[in-house]
Structure 1
Amino acid sequence: MQVESLTLPLPHDWFAAETTLPKHRFRMSQLMASGNAMTGLAARVTQAVANEEFAPSESTLDGAQRLFDSYFLVERASGAPVEMLRAAMAKALPLCAADIETGSALSDVQLQTLARGLHRLADWALIPTAAPAAASPHVTADPLFRWKQQHQLFFLIIHGMLYLLHVLEETLDREHAPVTQAVLSDFADLMEASTVAFHLAADFSPEDYESRIRPDMTAHDPHFSGLFYADHKELVTSLRVLKRVPDDFEEELDRISRAISETYDAHARVCLRFVGETASLASKDDSRIAAESIRGKYVKRTKVIAGLAKPRA
């Protein structure tokens, strides 16, 4: 089965989006009501329209960023960002859940963490909380499909984070403490879900990576790299809004800080598992170990931008 293309806004479009508070909140006590946390999530998002048409966007991405999009089958469009995200979730998440059903090394706790964050995203995308009966798409186990399909989870999660940071800015401007707390808690849920997504996207053998995944990326571009990911670059820059959060929310900020560390560590572990102590495809310095850069320079940079590099005064 082929990975389907997703249509999403340009990352900075979220900061002009019209914001709406969730009308309904999914009750996490119902997470396992369908027997499998991700299956229930997939059923929920099928209520959204997956085939809406959006106008093409005048892309501001550079060539490398467009190349990254094209590898993971992501197209950019103009229009209401929340509607676009809702449609993308309806298209991608049932396939992600069906892929997990073909076999996964993730624990039930990890799958619940992933589903929890994505349910919170569905709340903000204004998707009803019911989980109607829905037929699961048929997917056969294939590492290349998993690599690309589950990478689309990162696009969904990061776009959700960008939206929440936009809502947070508005909330801080209005000094609305209850909404600030809810946004920070949901942001932490999404960040924790992204940690699981790293493990999931790479849930196959090192042999599969060497024989299928790396050659496929190299064929797309000899210097292919996650550094080309425009949404992640926008997210890291946008984390600066967390510096404005009052110290009253220290517990939520600590949780976000821990989740950031765990996410970068998960990425580093994936690198070590597949390529060992070597440089990335895009690195101009063969002596620079990818995993060390992720655990060192990149996580420190992100925490400095977010104001989380040291205890808050």
Structure 2
Amino acid sequence: MSKLMENGGPMQGLAARVAQAAEGVDFAPSDSTLDGAQKLFDSYFLVQRAAGSPVDMLRAAMAQALPVCVADIETGADLSEEQRATLARGLHRLADWALIPTAIPEHIQPKIDADPLFRWKQQHQLFFLIIHGMLYLLHVLEEALDREHAPVTQAILTDFADLMEASTVAFCLAGDFSPEAYETRIRPDMTAHDPHFSGLFYADHKELVTSLRVLKQVPDDFEEELERISNAISETYDVHARVCLRFVGDTASLASKDDSRVAAESIRGKYVKRTKVIAGLAKPRG
């Protein structure tokens, strides 16, 4: 792992590693079952859905998105070295699951200009990639639990915690620009796309929250790993709430039908509680 983090910094090493998986199989478009709002959400963030092997698609998505995400970070991102390492660690774990070789070849970093709207969309794609990784890990966790394979279960839970912690950094990164940029560029752009635009329209996050029920089947032997996951869930929702407060203050989201409902309060209140109840992490186990 340490060698993977050495090539010019943790994120640059990651970009070089995943870039080698750029040439892969072609994927057929999937038969979408999304509703209209979910399709609008996908189109705004340039999400393309396909059918194929989950591992193959993870590999291709990482090769396509991550080098550009890293190039955007290099234009100037307010991330600490610890945050960069946390993000890189989770994504290296995902690259392992995607069977991307650990050797780091020569890599020419793409050059892009700093732009808040580009960052908003590109780094949301990073968050979406992490969500797909967590969905895949929950699937293999369910299989490991069926086989009562404790070492594999522990490894999956540890990697899932790494990815959940990385998602917290991805949230910070996607909103790493000024409130003025949000007010003058981001929010008008979303409103033009859909006057009621909302993250609630993201279908895969909804699936992830539902899939977290698998964690209820995890034996109490893995209390330490489950505690890490629980803490990371809390931190992710808290970071999301802080981003909302920074940009829109004590106001409702674009999709809210109740102007008195504060978006950040909903995130810190009912949404995190709902997620922890589904995951069986709402109160101490045992």
The TM-score normalised by the length of structure 2 is: 0.99
Q: How does 1:78-89 map to 2 (within 5 A)?
A: 78-89=51-62
Query: Aligned Cα RMSD in Å?
Result: 0.9
**Structure 2: unaligned runs, 5 residues or longer:** none
1:270 to 229, 243, 266: 243
1:296 to 262, 265, 269: 269
1:140 equivalent to 2:113? Answer: yes
Match of 1:47 in 2: 20
| Superposition deviation, residue 50 in structure 1 | 4.7
| Superposition deviation, residue 85 in structure 1 | 1.4
Deviations 1:123-179 (A, max 9, x none): 000000111111011110000000000000111100000000000000000000000
Is the contact made by 1:106 and 1:200 (CA closer than 8 Å) also made in structure 2? yes
1:124 equivalent to 2:102? Answer: no
Deviations 1:220-240 (A, max 9, x none): 000000000000000000000
Match of 1:14 in 2: none
Is the contact made by 1:31 and 1:116 (CA closer than 8 Å) also made in structure 2? no
| Superposition deviation, residue 81 in structure 1 | 1.8
| Superposition deviation, residue 35 in structure 1 | 2.6
1:192 equivalent to 2:165? Answer: yes
Is the contact made by 2:4 and 2:104 (CA closer than 8 Å) also made in structure 1? no
SS of equivalent to 1:140: coil
User: What is the CA–CA distance in structure 1 between the aligned matches of 2:146 and 2:24, rounded to whole Å?
Assistant: 36
| Superposition deviation, residue 31 in structure 1 | 4.6
Q: Which amino acid aligns with 2:227?
A: D
**Structure 1: unaligned runs, 5 residues or longer:** 1-26
1:243 equivalent to 2:212? Answer: no
User: What is the CA–CA distance in structure 2 between the aligned matches of 1:91 and 1:112, rounded to whole Å?
Assistant: 21
2:72 to 84, 91, 99: 99
Count of residue correspondences: 286
Match of 1:204 in 2: 177
Is the contact made by 2:87 and 2:166 (CA closer than 8 Å) also made in structure 1? yes
Is the contact made by 1:113 and 1:196 (CA closer than 8 Å) also made in structure 2? yes
Is the contact made by 2:72 and 2:119 (CA closer than 8 Å) also made in structure 1? yes
Q: Which amino acid aligns with 1:278?
A: T
Shift of the 50–195 alpha-carbon distance from structure 1 to 2, 3 Å rule, reads: farther
Shift of the 308–54 alpha-carbon distance from structure 1 to 2, 3 Å rule, reads: same
Give the percent of matched residue pairs that are identical in Structure 1 and Structure 2.
Answer: 83
Is the contact made by 1:49 and 1:90 (CA closer than 8 Å) also made in structure 2? yes
| Superposition deviation, residue 56 in structure 1 | 1.4
Deviations 1:72-123 (A, max 9, x none): 1011111112111111100100000000000011101101100000000000
